């Protein structure tokens, strides 16, 4: 691990503005294999690999914004479009990196497990958000999927760079279930992760729509509400469908989709006994296919 890491919010913004964002070893290997096996890989083939890894998606979008052409009239959030804008071969040559999550956390196996768990949860949230956006006939369904996938991207980065502190936050909340995440983070890190992310997405000059979709304070907007509910549901259900917060999630999702609570539970594949596995079968299968 690095020895001279940031110690306050402003230093973290500066550090993450230029840091080589790590990606999963599987992502790196698959992209190198794609590049070596095809002189002109398609944007679709590359996007299918990149979308499996939230950190790689962040890396690509940040790179695009840093190299955005003046004549680019519209912001781009979709991975495939970003690759087309940059040129697939150029993008892969420039953003595939030797900085890998598994290398950074080689001596922090507990933190690696926590990070992979949160990445899996991000995929489940992205699936929910996408499905609900399609049901609502929202033309920005792909952007909504991406926002749900990246909702906790700053937390993922901190798991890579300060695993000991992130484990300390997790331990403190396990010891005191009433302890709010924000308070635990401020005690250990000196700031709340959401505060860092809200400033980081502006510093990275990410697309305005994505910044809005990632802003929990804009939950009055249907699209943002979709993302937030998907993230909450995936988090609350991650360890079982007996979480006390889930009934409220079902009601809120029902209000979003104009469905009854029972219909929401049927949609999610949750039995009324709520003794299902940690994820509904359909969502688990979909997440496994993407992760």
Q: Give the pLDDT of residue 79.
A: 95
User: What is the length of the chain?
Assistant: 291
> Out of 65-74, 79-88, 116-125, 146-155, which region has the weakest mean confidence (pLDDT)?
65-74
* CA dist., res. 161 & res. 22, Å (int): 10
pLDDT of 168 reads: 97
- Look at 26-40, 108-122, 170-184, 197-211 and tell me which has the smallest mean pLDDT: 26-40
**Domains of the chain, each with CATH number or no CATH:** 23-98 (no CATH), 105-290 (1.10.3210.10)
For tokens 């505060």, the residue is 195
**DSSP reduced 3-state for 191:** coil
Q: pLDDT by residue (tens digit) across 61-73?
A: 999 988 876 555 5
**Phi/psi of residue 155, nearest 5 degrees:** -60, -40
Question: Could you give the CA distance from residue 228 to residue 208 in angstroms, rounded to a whole number?
Answer: 17
- As a whole number, the mean pLDDT across the chain is 89
Cα atoms in the 13 Å half-sphere on the side-chain side of 22:
20
- Would you call 111 exposed, middle or buried from its count of C-beta atoms within 10 A (0-12, 13-18, 19+)? buried
The answer to whether residue 178 scores a pLDDT higher than 80 is yes
The mean pLDDT of 68-91, rounded to a whole number, is 83
- Backbone φ and ψ for 100, nearest 5 degrees, come out as -120, 145
Give residue-wise pLDDT tens across range 2-48.
457 898 999 999 999 888 999 999 999 999 999 888 878 999 999 99
Find, among 217, 157, 222, the residue nearest to 13 by Cα.
157
């Amino acid at each position: 691990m690095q020895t001279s890491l940031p110690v306050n919010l402003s230093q973290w913004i500066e550090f993450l503005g230029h840091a080589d964002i790590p990606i999963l070893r599987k992502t790196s290997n698959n992209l190198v294999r794609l590049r070596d096996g095809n002189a002109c890989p398609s944007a679709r083939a590359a996007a299918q690999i990149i979308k499996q890894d939230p950190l790689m998606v962040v890396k690509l979008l940040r790179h695009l914004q840093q190299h955005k052409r003046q004549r680019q009239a519209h912001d781009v959030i979709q991975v495939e479009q970003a690759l087309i804008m940059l040129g697939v071969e150029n993008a892969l040559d420039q953003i595939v990196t030797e900085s890998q999550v598994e290398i950074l956390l080689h001596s922090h196996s507990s933190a690696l497990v926590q990070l992979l768990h949160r990445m899996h949860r991000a995929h489940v949230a992205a699936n929910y958000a996408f499905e609900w956006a399609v049901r609502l006939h929202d033309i920005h369904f792909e952007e909504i999927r991406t926002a749900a996938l990246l909702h906790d991207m700053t937390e993922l980065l901190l798991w890579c760079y300060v695993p000991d502190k992130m484990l300390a936050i997790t331990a403190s909340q396990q010891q005191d279930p009433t302890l709010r995440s924000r308070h635990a983070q401020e005690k250990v890190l000196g700031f709340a992760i959401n505060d860092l992310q809200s400033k980081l997405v502006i510093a990275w000059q990410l697309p305005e729509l994505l910044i809005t979709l990632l802003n929990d304070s804009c939950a009055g907007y249907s699209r943002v509400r979709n993302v937030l509910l998907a993230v909450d549901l995936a988090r609350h259900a991650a360890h079982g469908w007996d979480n006390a917060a889930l009934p409220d999630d079902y009601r809120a999702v029902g209000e979003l989709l104009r469905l009854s609570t029972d219909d929401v539970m049927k949609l999610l594949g949750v039995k009324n006994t709520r003794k299902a596995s940690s994820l509904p079968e359909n969502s688990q299968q979909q997440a496994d296919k993407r992760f």
